Amino acid sequence: MAAHLPVLNPEVGMISPRTRGRMVLRLRAAGIRDERVLDVMNQVPRHHFVAQALAGRAYELVSLPIGYGQTISQPWTVARMMEAILENNPIPRRILEIGTGSAYQTALLAELGAEVFTVERIGPLHHHADKVLSRLGYSQVHLLHGDGSGGWPEQGPYDAIVITAAVPCALAPLYRQLRPGGRLVMPVEDRGKQHLQVSHWDGHEARISHLGDCFFVPLLAGTVSLASGEC
Ligand code: SAH
């Protein structure tokens, strides 16, 4: 875990921990209650996961562009997804994340203490995520460049699966990569509207609950291997 990261990043200048603390206060005011979630949001420096030009906005409760038409998810949504995994549960030991993107949520899941397996379809985002996570000292993360629509079965089963791009329907085969008692959290798109959905998998069937509206980029099939810098 990287609980004691230096706050000074020579590339993006000084961003006060108090700024991050204010984000956590806003998350609390917006209904996030799980102290384990609030604690890791207070630890992980979100400004390291966005471009230098956007670092000053890193602690606003907004999503921001990360290139290639993708976005870093907005902190409240990330926090809510983690709360859904943790509710009445200990920290999951193994988590699969589909859609690494900026790797901010990857780092938060690792900071919780989980071993994280994360899949990203866009080559340069995958490589950048790998670099940022190593620089920040997150060693218990395993990254894969690939199409995560089918999960990462070789590394399963997982205690939780988080999909960070909108899917048109529940991805039934992914349940087979969950341990009984595991949870799948994802944004589901239905008739142009998205909602966050949690599936509690008992080994035979899933009990589904809804967490409210959300907005994510779509889950897409296939992989992209653009050279870094292309868009
Ligand atoms: N949690 C990330 C969200 C990034 S946006 C963050 O906060 O930064 C969603 C990501 O999912 C994008 O990077 C996109 O390229 C990726 N993605 C979309 N479809 C995918 C697929 N089939 N397999 C793997 N990654 C996918």
Domain range annotation of the chain? 17-213
Lining ligand 1 with CB less than 6 A are 70-73, 98-99, 101-102, 104-105, 119-122, 125, 147-149, 164-165, 217, 219-221
Q: Which of 63, 73, 149, 225 is catalytic?
A: 73
CA distance 141 to 40: 16
CA distance 58 to 26: 13
Token couple for 183: 């949870």
83 alpha-carbon distance from chain centroid: 12
pLDDT for the residue numbered 170: 64
Token couple for 98: 């589909």
CA distance 49 to 101: 9
Q: Quick check: is 199 catalytic?
A: no
- 17-213 architecture in CATH? 3-Layer(aba) Sandwich (3.40)
**Per-10-residue mean pLDDT, the chain, length 231:** 39 69 97 98 96 94 96 97 95 97 98 98 97 96 96 97 90 89 95 93 94 91 65 24
Helix, coil or strand: residue 197: strand
pLDDT for the residue numbered 209: 94
Decide if 45 contacts 9 (C-beta within 8 A): yes
pLDDT for the residue numbered 112: 97
pLDDT for the residue numbered 74: 95
pLDDT for the residue numbered 16: 75
pLDDT for the residue numbered 117: 98
Query: Interior CA angle at 177 toward 80 and 209, to 5°?
Result: 35
Closest ligand 1 atom to Cα of 125: 13
Neighbours of 154 (CB within 10 A): 8
Instruction: Give the residue, by CA position, lying nearest to ligand 1 atom 4.
Output: 101
